[in-house]
A and B are shown apart, each in its own frame.
Chain A
Amino acid sequence: MSAAPLLRATGIEKRFGAVVAASELNLDIAAGEKVSLIGSNGAGKTTFVNMITGYLKPDAGSITLAGRDITRLSPRAITHLGVARSFQIPQLCAELTVLDNMLVANAVDAGALSFWRPARRPQAVARARELLQRFDLADHTGRRVAELPGGVRKLLDIAMALTGSPQLLLLDEPTSGVAAEEKYPLMDRVMRALGEEKMTVLFVEHDMDIVTRYASRVIAFYSGRVIADGAPAATLDEPEVRRYVTGTLR
């Protein structure tokens, strides 16, 4: 087991008026972990994710990534340090092809003034195709995103997040909006593709079957606090979790 955690949150506090979104949050995430964040709506999971990506700043406390303090950094800086996220509703460029969508991440990295570097140069295309292959999306390479079915869009949304080879990947409800019988295949594909990169993954999920099957660790939120943290089976069985998250305890 490695010594220093990849992500460390210390004493995070965040309020929106009277609503407590985070309170005394202390978390360590080690490299390579597959962690699921669970909790009912408004529990603070998404706020936490937004604070990691830099779109929200905590009122107090700090967040470090690989030892570096990222609490006050801009979202762009944090992205460049290796944090990427996917979206509950896939955020894609509808009129562009699947390949072009994948190339956008690479294009962004090229710098603000590189007017002469072709967007579709060989190395970038090769990397994009390789990722598409891993996600079983190669057949869709030349298709316009607007023509794609929902499950494919979800996969593409996640694949795009990987183009920059992030250290930390945040998945926001990867199986939401996906038909029940497609959830396992989708997550299988995602985890298989990620496995090859040995990535640290945080995923927000509401589906407990998915959580049990794919997470090595579960963190449960309620009212801005962590109420449970541990291996899936055990954590999901805890009375607090059953009362406030899964609703299986009266």
Chain B
Amino acid sequence: MTALLTILIDGVTYASWLFIVALGLTLVFGVLKILNIAHGSFYALGAYAAASFVGWGASLKLAPSFSLVAMLLAAVAVAALVAPLTERGLLRMFYGRDEVLLVLVTYALFLILEDVTKLVWGANPYYVSEPYSMFGNVDIGTQSWVGYDFVLVAVAVVVGGAVWWGLNRTRMGKIVLAVIHSEEVASSMGVNVSKVYALAFSIGIFLAALGGALTAPMISVQPGVSVGVIIVSFAVVIIGGLGSIEGAAIGALIVGLARSLAVHTWPVAELFSVYIVMAIVLMFRPEGLFQRIQARKI
């Protein structure tokens, strides 16, 4: 029983992290129809920015709880600075082109950002460990978990709820939904699609950076953090269905639980379990579990 509980809790905590990270990716695809390989790079930027901001907070002798605010500010800063530059300066040049071509553009962006982060922050790792121990430990049964992990679960729920509410209950959200359904129709009804693209992209980047910022205390922030995140985010988003918020949540849960199950029962499968699920979903239900777009060609 405790084994099952462990698997469940591990799965859910990992899933929360996955959800926060992957949500931005699915949103950007849903609106702009771009599968953004550089999504992980923005995640890394968020982690690095958080490291810097928390560091500055510490050097200014601010209270430890400020570090949480610092992480949030870091994500906002990344989104505010990088998103408009990327969307307007780069992606806009390629709108309307083949979807695979756009993936290649984002791949080029990933390569560029890998080195940009190295140039700005150097190649040595950063550690932002203070916030991680801030919430103490939680004991459930015989196992002990770090409180921070559960905070992530709460953040995931809040973020998911906020995005859902924003899309479905606000006027701007309904406009975004219209663009998701058909950019052409929305445009002919007077929607400023450019602005919607910019907004959606900024939110997507913010969410990626937030994921990175929140993760910073759990890892050593160094070159290469983006690489693993990209591929696992893709898996989540493909499983759940490109462009679907609910899909991102379910996809995250599936991946989280699959990995947790593997880690605790069959460690060999830890890595490939995620990609097997991704491959199986692609083979049998390529649109993902929550259809939003048409899949294969046959």
Direct A/B contact, Cβ within 8 angstroms:
no
| A contact set with B: CB distance below 8 Å | none
